[in-house]
Structure 1
Amino acid sequence: GCIVLGSMVAFVSMMGGLRNIIVDASTYHFFG
């Protein structure tokens, strides 16, 4: 249970990081 929960949290945080990078890149492209 603990390992699965940890991997789920890591996966969610990784997806959130990727989404933030994509949003930052598109925002930079839009304003730049």
Structure 2
Amino acid sequence: MIHNILLVRIALSLNFNGSSIAFICEKKQT
């Protein structure tokens, strides 16, 4: 159970980082 919670938190943090990086890349291109 604990491992699943950790995996979910890691996945959420990676998804957030990925989306923020994509947003920054889009702002630099324009």
| TM-score tier after normalising by the smaller chain length | over 0.9
The higher radius of gyration belongs to: 1
Unaligned runs of at least 5 residues, structure 2 = none
Q: How many residues align?
A: 30
TM-score, normalised to structure 1's length? Answer: 0.88
What is the identity percentage for the equivalent residue pairs of Structure 1 and Structure 2? 0
TM-score, normalised to structure 2's length? Answer: 0.93
Q: Report the RMSD for the aligned CA atoms in angstroms.
A: 0.4
**Displacement, 1:6?**
0.1
Unaligned runs of at least 5 residues, structure 1 = none
**Residue equivalent to 1:6:** 4
